[in-house]
Amino acid sequence: MSFATHYSVSPQSWGKGRSTRELAEEVAVAIVVNGSTLAVMMATPADLEAFGVGFALTEGVIEQASEISRLEVVNHDLGIEVRLWIGADKAQAMAARRRQQSGPTGCGLCGIESLKEAMRVSRPVRSRLDLSVEKIREAASSLRPVQSLNAITRAVHAAALWHPDHGVLAVCEDVGRHNALDKLAGRAAQMNLDAGHCAVLLTSRVSIELIQKTAVLGAPVLIAVSAPTRLAVDAAQAAGITLIGVARDDGFEVFS
């Protein structure tokens, strides 16, 4: 499946005539666990197996990727299903908390019970990663060159796992910033990467959900190109995550 489509546009500056641009694909992707739809997101149809694994991990449906006995991606006319099968005990626990699922910022929450779930305290990250100013700048500058889809569309976010000695170990892109991080969590699990010795790199602002997902991933440092929300800073401090924002060529800001 293509992740970008040629589209005819009419530039209104510099005297250009009609030209074409690559537009990022966006489709409805349903995460289906043991036959029951857990969530539906608008997403880029790339790395969907990693997306399913990562979403199940970061939303607490499973604790280890090995708990998934089978996974398949099924295309439909209206979208895509990522189907996962897990043990009965995990499925029952998932059903019990279905109405407590937190929704992404700006999208509302699923019922009054989800308010407590949205504000859940992340499990503390026990690992530690000390980075010099030079290493932080190196990490921040390493993200743009590996954003292959964004290079042609200018419309997708990226999440990457970066190691101070080995650089970018994995990167995932998506029209949704939450989706990109979920895909990265799944990719890390599939590749058996130890996030405890790495930093997560993000192209977006940082809200509390991204801190919660980073904590599940186990990365002790998060570096983003934009600023965090105040609640994200509080969550990062509680989880023991070093949160670095506004990471650009001319510097960065340490929030926790």
Range of the domain at 241: 133-254
Quick check: is 125 in a domain?
Answer: no
153 and 104 together in one domain = no
* Phi and psi, residue 159, nearest 5°: -135, 135
Amino acid 212: pLDDT: 95
Q: Could you say which of 118, 141, 165 is where a domain stops?
A: 118
Helix, strand, or coil (residue 217): helix
Distance CA 123, CA 198 (A): 17
Tokens of 91: 């499925």
- Whether this prediction's pTM lies above 0.95 is answered by no
110 and 205 together in one domain = no
Quick check: is 51 in a domain?
Answer: yes
Quick check: is 5 in a domain?
Answer: no
Distance of alpha carbon 182 from the chain centroid = 4
Q: Could you say which of 60, 86, 118 is where a domain stops?
A: 118
- The CATH number of whichever domain residue 42 belongs to comes to 3.10.20.10
Amino acid 1: pLDDT: 60
Quick check: is 66 in a domain?
Answer: yes
Tokens of 256: 């926790």
The active-site residue out of 107, 110, 172, 198 is 107
138 and 97 together in one domain = no
The number of domains in the chain is: 2
Distance CA 179, CA 32 (A): 16
* Contacts with 230 (C-beta within 8 Å, 6 or more apart), sequence order: none
Is residue 107 annotated as part of the catalytic site, yes or no?
yes
Quick check: is 225 in a domain?
Answer: yes
Distance CA 140, CA 223 (A): 7
Quick check: is 11 in a domain?
Answer: no
Amino acid 9: pLDDT: 67
114 and 153 together in one domain = no
Quick check: is 21 in a domain?
Answer: no
Burial of 196 (0-12, 13-18, 19+ CB in 10 A): middle
Spatial contact of 186 and 51, defined as CB atoms under 8 Å apart = yes
232 and 140 together in one domain = yes
Distance CA 93, CA 76 (A): 29
Spatial contact of 228 and 256, defined as CB atoms under 8 Å apart = no
- Tell me the pairing of strands 199-202 and 221-224: parallel
Q: Return per-residue pLDDT of the chain as tens, 256 residues.
A: 668 776 666 566 555 667 888 999 999 999 999 999 999 999 999 999 999 999 999 999 999 999 999 999 999 999 999 999 999 888 888 877 665 554 444 444 444 356 677 777 788 999 999 999 999 999 999 999 999 999 999 999 999 999 999 999 999 999 999 999 999 999 999 999 999 999 999 999 999 999 999 999 999 999 999 999 999 999 999 999 999 999 998 999 999 9
